[in-house]
Amino acid sequence: MLLRFSVENFRSIAEKQTLDLVASNYFKELLNINSFSVESGEKLPRILRSTAIYGPNAAGKSSLVHSMAFVRWLIVESLKRTQIDEPIDVAPFRLSSSFRDKDSSFEIVFLEKNETGEKAKEGDQRFVRYQYGFRVNMRRITEEWLIAYPNSRPQGWFHRAFDADKGAYRYDFGTAFKGGRLREDWKNQTRDNALFLSTAVQLNNEQLKPVFFWFSKRLKVLRPELPPPSRTFRRLESDPEEKILSFMKDMDLSIDGISFVKRPFSPERLPKHLPSELREEMIREMSGKEVPDLKFLHADPEGKESIPFDPGDESEGTRNLFSFSGLWLDMLEKEQILVIDEIDTSLHPLVVRRLIERLHCAGCQAQLIFTTHDSSLLASGILRRDQIWFVEKNPRKATELYPLSDFSVQKGEALEKRYLSGRYGAIPFFRDLDLDEKK
């Protein structure tokens, strides 16, 4: 579970900005529905199940989402996808000389079980709070730290910092961090452009695996375009179609069934309009492989038979929901944190509202963080005041992130009306245009 995420000096973000998913004790509405608690070695506040982020175009909503994606990529992917001397693809705030040459900084506070995978079945199921962060520039990781709170008291597991004067790293390991002499091996194997966390896990550090697991398996970040339906296909291969079909029917789609089989690839199934070179390349790559054959079934008005439709015969909304269904069901079942940029770009506003309502239920420990322009959610009554955040640019053209709870908002206040009137900021500002000005 994500408790807090902070980012400094990244893309349109200059000074440190923090997104907080801890439920406020001040607001009592929807507390048991929109938030949840977990068993831990320390007394923790309740955690919000969803967070909506509003703001005009180019205000920095995507920068916030991109920063989360960058953190996950650097931890999970960069070690195996980059070379030893390759620059790190980090983007500091460029509109100020004081930030262009400054490190970017990220910190995440989250909860994960003591054990993951098979060991969790027999081990301690309580959650542990972790505080992990790093500083980075294009040349190297300049600082990295991890603090664990297994029993309320902080345990500093490791701290890594680059000493520019000596041109070398200094490592400090806490007494609670295991490994003995192996810690020197993990340290020596860590490249300048790689994280100690990622390196140590790759070298079979068991203690850090729950931390790495959280980033690799719990945190999922989506850009505005939904990914291909591969996740949904994988579910259909292993699970009955009823879960996908039930999800799509719940979204009020007139789908009566799904037919999904894998068939040997045939060039005859390729679109006729493909250029010859592309067609030949695809035939070479796909020859001998199996490809999914998906059909959506619709009952005829008399209910006597089911008529199969190709995905191309369905609406874009139906195709988007099908692609999204596997991700959504995974999120609920695996208690993931799903971050979506511009959720209303691919999904209808009423579908988004329905998804939030389904997420807000007893026993659910998944989380949804999304950016949106759909102001009708503010009037729907399904979000608490601490679940609504805004972004806007300050006079220095840098992104600022702030919650609705910063304002004196009364319960039952007309949030949508006041937001659109500019009461909370984070809306487009249009200068009046004088069409005769150039005459």
Q: Report the distance separating Cα 94 and Cα 436, nearest Å.
A: 36
SS (H, E, C) 393-410: ECCCCCEEEEEHHHCCCC
> Do the strands 127-136 and 141-151 form a parallel or antiparallel pair, or are they unpaired?
antiparallel
**pTM for the structure as a whole:** 0.90
The one-letter code for the residue type at 22 is V
Given the structure tokens 């089911």, which residue do they identify?
A: 306
- Lay out the sheet containing 290-299: strands in order across: 257-264, 290-299, 306-309
**Rounded distance, CA 208 to CA 224, Å?**
32
Q: CA-to-CA distance for 36 and 45, rounded, in angstroms?
A: 9
Find the helix or strand (DSSP H, E) in which 202 lies: helix 196-202
CA distance 77 to 212: 11
- Pairwise CA distance, residues 356 & 351, whole Å: 9
Side chain identity, residue 306: S
- Cβ–Cβ under 8 Å, residues 368 and 32: no
- pLDDT tens for each residue of the chain, 439 residues long: 999 999 999 999 999 999 999 999 888 899 999 999 988 877 888 999 999 999 999 999 999 999 999 999 999 998 888 888 899 999 999 999 999 999 999 999 999 987 654 444 444 558 999 999 999 999 999 999 999 998 888 999 999 999 999 999 999 999 999 999 999 999 999 999 999 999 999 999 999 999 999 999 999 999 877 777 888 888 888 877 788 989 888 887 788 888 888 888 888 777 777 788 877 887 888 888 888 888 888 888 876 788 888 888 888 888 889 999 999 999 999 999 999 999 988 888 899 999 999 999 878 999 999 999 999 999 999 999 999 999 999 999 999 999 999 998 887 789 999 999 999 998 886 555 454 544 4
